[in-house]
């Protein structure tokens, strides 16, 4: 299991994809920031390279 903490510090009420926050990987003890949902997804996608494929 992978554990992350996501803290949201700013939301744009007019555009829900605009969120600013901190993405913390608990096991790796790393912290990254994001400024929109895409960059958050990107952080999630790149954080753990050794991931088993998810079957449909």
Collect all residues with Cβ–Cβ distance below 8 Å to 44 and sequence separation of at least 6: 4, 23
Whichever of 50 and 56 has its CB closer to other proteins, that residue is 50
Q: What is the CA radius of gyration of the chain?
A: 13
- Partners of 5 in beta bridges: 24
Query: Exactly one of 17, 26, 41, 45 binds other proteins (CB under 8 A); which one?
Result: 26
Which residues are CB-neighbours of 55 under 8 A, at least 6 positions away?
none
* Shortest Cβ 5–other proteins spacing (Å): 7
Q: How many residues bind other proteins (CB under 8 A)?
A: 13
Site string for other proteins, 27-46 (x = CB under 8 A): x-x---x-x-----------
């Amino acid at each position: 299991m992978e554990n992350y903490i996501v803290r949201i510090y700013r939301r744009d009420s007019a555009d829900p994809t605009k969120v600013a926050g901190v993405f913390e990987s608990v096991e790796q003890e790393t912290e990254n920031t994001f400024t929109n949902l895409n960059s958050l997804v990107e952080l999630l996608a790149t954080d753990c390279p050794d991931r088993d494929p998810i079957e449909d």
